[in-house]
Amino acid sequence: MKDDERLSLADTTRALAELQALVLAQGAMLDTLIATHPYPVEFREAWDQRVSAVLAQSLQTSAARLADGEQMRVLSPLSHQLQELTEKVLRRAPREP
């Protein structure tokens, strides 16, 4: 491996570490917002609208550039994370039957 390739690998590793830290911080912020929002029902309604839009856009984008098998591999972590957060939102402000 050449020196410039090692630098690139180090830069990539550092960038991934920074992204991971941002994702963790964002998750903590969302957890706090879910638990403390003064209007949980309105928050849930806004959450439902936003999550459905994010999933629809992710499906559309992924479908345009990935094969079917790859699409599910890419979308699975996103949908799993959104599902966990949605469950927290629903525990705080359940939908009416």
Nearest 5°: the CA angle 76, 63, 22 is 45
Per-residue pLDDT, 36 = 95
What whole-number distance in Å separates Cα of residue 28 and Cα of residue 20? 12
Query: Which segments in the chain show pLDDT lower than 70?
Result: 1-7, 59-76, 78
Of how many residues is the chain composed? 97
**pLDDT (0 to 100) of residue 45:** 93
pTM: 0.64
Domain boundaries, the chain: 1-36, 38-97
pLDDT score of 59: 67
* Confidence at residue 2, expressed as pLDDT on a 0 to 100 scale: 60
φ, ψ of residue 15 to 5 degrees: the values are -65, -40
Among candidate residues 25, 46, 44, 23, the one with its CA nearest the CA of residue 35 = 44
> Could you read off the pLDDT of 22-49 as tens digits, one per residue?
888 988 999 999 999 999 999 999 998 9
